[in-house]
């Protein structure tokens, strides 16, 4: 067991050195880090509570969501009843009292109108209800009323999309580890570390993303695309998910339909194959433009472009009339739903009002860092002295493992761009205190075996063998607890869980593997006595 082949020594040493090496930039000034190679510039990020930043609380208007749904339904009904192949004439539409009502001019077409409107309604989640009730009053007046379940479902959907839009827009800033969480049914908390100007954050969230539909230029030469050369009248855009492998694609400059004319996008299923698809709907003008463009370009691909990047480029198999279409492809339910969210996130689905804003200064964080570092230094020195005093040579091994463990925690956090928060510092200090637990357990097992009169090699080998089972079991339960905190927690709780998880993994590695390697080196000198 204590036999360490050369490859294993190199592997353990290399892992330890790399982990410690990546910790170095986090302790250097910015000007020094800027001169390092790119892969060595990764550092531990500081959270909002340590580095300061902006905090805003956004609130969505539920009345705005309800009014928007009625407006969308009005557009869809007008488009459906004006279809050229079976037009149904109607009077002026009224949206008073949060319901939609209109008169069908020819009373004999009322039933036909209802039959065409009802498919426009959808199920309200798992409630078993529809999102709109459709009924006929006075013989020829159709009233479409939103249900409570439908409104609640729409608010939930709007808040999900709004959260995703906000997250994407903040990610575009290059900000690391922002906190974006729901608060209640209609509020979103946004915290951005390092951003000291809440006004800039509000401006960003007030912008509208640009969604466009354009024809793909199939005449483009792949070799020219690789060199950044597009055919005349076309442009090259990034296409990260291109199934052909090339991360760019050429599209016509002329816009078929803009995202302002898209009403909705939902994950659905193909009625014939039951495969996941994405269902999209346009308003009246968008439907006419889309129908005209698809009639003229059957069997040609078109691209859906969000903020200058192509999301998907499906083929036009047939003219798409009526203002709705299905985007098919090799979708899973998750990927189709993600594409639908991306399409919907072209713009915020609901108006968000800032109800609270504040700037968190870095002074409190700097004081916390100083006290955290002081606590860490005191804890480290106390542990170092205690281990040497109690276990002698094996205490020195444990101390070296502890130092490596501290550096590796910082190095791993830097590699993964993890964020250190105030609770994270608490987790860090806790990890230092618990890091030597494994070595205490190992050393005590070695003492027990020594009292039984075994040889030095058998004593150390059995001590490590018996102790590591308990070490792995105990730390596995800790990792499970940290994983649950990360999954169910948010913001600082996640930061604590991340530091704790990294600390547990690195401490087991250094306390068990690294110290065992040191012990094997010592045993090669064939010691006559074991003082522990």
256 and 296 Cβ atoms separated by less than 8 Å: no
Q: What is the full per-residue pLDDT of the chain (532 aa) written as tens digits?
A: 556 788 888 999 999 999 899 988 888 887 888 788 877 778 887 776 677 778 888 888 878 788 878 888 887 888 788 765 678 888 888 888 888 888 888 888 888 888 888 888 877 766 677 888 888 888 888 999 988 888 888 888 888 888 888 877 777 565 556 778 787 778 888 888 777 676 767 766 765 556 688 889 888 888 888 888 888 778 889 888 788 888 889 998 878 887 777 777 777 887 778 888 888 888 777 888 888 888 888 888 888 887 677 878 888 877 877 777 777 666 787 777 766 766 666 667 777 888 888 776 666 566 766 777 787 788 778 888 888 898 888 889 988 998 899 899 888 888 877 777 777 777 777 777 677 788 888 989 888 888 888 888 888 888 888 888 888 888 888 888 888 887 776 666 777 788 888 888 898 899 888 998 988 888 888 777 877 7
pLDDT for position 225? 83
Report residue 268 as tokens: 């659905």
Q: For position 38, what pLDDT does the model report?
A: 75
pLDDT for 14 equals: 92
| Structure tokens belonging to residue 471 | 């070490």
Cβ–Cβ under 8 Å, residues 180 and 170: yes
Residues with Cβ within 8 Å of residue 444, at least 6 apart in sequence: 467
Q: What is the largest CA-CA distance in the chain?
A: 108
Amino acid 17: pLDDT? 92
Q: Residues 6 or more apart from 440 whose CB is under 8 A from it? A: 398
Taking Cα atoms as reference points, which of 283, 262, 65, 59 lies closest to residue 153?
A: 65
The pTM assigned to this predicted structure is: 0.53
What is d(CA 316, CA 327) in angstroms, rounded to the nearest whole number? 9
> CA neighbours within 13 Å on the CB side: how many for 87?
4
State the pairing for strand pair 53-60/187-193: antiparallel
Whole-number Å distance between alpha carbons of 119 and 149: 17
């Amino acid at each position: 067991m204590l036999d360490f082949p050369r490859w294993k020594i190199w592997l353990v040493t290399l892992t330890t050195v790399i982990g410690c090496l990546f910790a170095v930039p986090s302790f250097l000034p910015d000007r020094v880090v800027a001169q390092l190679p790119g892969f060595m510039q990764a550092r531990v990020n500081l959270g909002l509570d340590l580095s300061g930043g902006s905090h805003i609380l956004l609130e969505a208007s539920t009345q705005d969501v309800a009014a928007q749904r009625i407006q969308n339904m009005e557009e869809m009904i007008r488009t459906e009843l004006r279809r050229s192949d079976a037009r149904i004439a109607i009077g002026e539409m009224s949206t008073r009292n949060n319901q939609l009502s209109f008169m069908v001019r020819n009373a004999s077409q009322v039933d036909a109108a209802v039959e065409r409107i009802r498919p426009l309604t959808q199920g309200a989640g798992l409630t078993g209800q529809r999102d709109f009730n459709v009924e006929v009053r006075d013989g020829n007046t159709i009233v479409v009323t939103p249900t409570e379940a439908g409104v609640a479902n729409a608010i939930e959907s709007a808040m999900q999309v709004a959260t995703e839009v906000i997250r994407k827009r903040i990610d575009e800033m290059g900000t690391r580890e922002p906190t974006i969480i729901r608060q209640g049914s209609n509020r979103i908390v946004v915290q951005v570390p390092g951003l000291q100007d809440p006004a800039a954050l509000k401006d960003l969230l007030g912008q509208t993303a640009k969604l466009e539909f354009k024809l793909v230029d199939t005449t483009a030469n792949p070799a020219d695309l690789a060199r950044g050369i597009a055919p005349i009248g076309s442009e090259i855009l990034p296409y990260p998910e291109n199934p052909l492998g090339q991360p760019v694609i050429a599209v016509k400059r002329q816009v078929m339909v803009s995202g302002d004319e898209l009403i909705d996008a939902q994950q659905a299923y193909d009625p014939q194959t039951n495969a996941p698809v994405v269902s999209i709907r346009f308003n009246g003008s968008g439907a006419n433009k889309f129908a005209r463009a698809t009639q003229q370009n059957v069997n040609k691909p078109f691209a859906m472009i969000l903020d200058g990047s192509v999301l998907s480029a499906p083929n036009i198999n047939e003219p798409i009339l009526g203002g709705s279409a299905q985007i098919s492809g090799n979708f899973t339910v998750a990927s189709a739903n993600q594409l639908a969210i991306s399409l919907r996130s072209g713009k915020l689905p609901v108006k968000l009002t800032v109800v609270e804003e504040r700037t968190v200064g870095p002074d409190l964080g700097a004081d916390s860092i100083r006290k955290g570092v002081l606590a860490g230094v005191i804890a480290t020195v106390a542990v170092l002295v205690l281990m040497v005093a109690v276990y002698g040579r094996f205490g020195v091994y444990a101390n070296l493992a502890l130092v490596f463990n501290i550096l590796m925690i910082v190095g791993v956090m830097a590699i993964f761009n993890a964020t250190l928060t105030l609770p994270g510092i608490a987790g860090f200090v806790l990890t230092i205190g618990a890091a030597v637990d494994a070595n205490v357990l190992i050393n005590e097992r070695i003492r027990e075996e020594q009292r039984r009169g075994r040889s030095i090699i058998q004593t150390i080998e059995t001590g490590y063998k018996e102790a590591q089972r308990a070490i792995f079991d105990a730390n596995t339960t800790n990792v499970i607890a940290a994983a649950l905190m990360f999954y169910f927690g948010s913001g600082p709780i996640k930061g604590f869980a991340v530091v704790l998880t990294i600390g547990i993994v690195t401490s087991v590695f250094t306390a068990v593997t690294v110290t065992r390697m040191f012990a094997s080196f010592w045993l090669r000198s064939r010691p006559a006595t074991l003082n522990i």
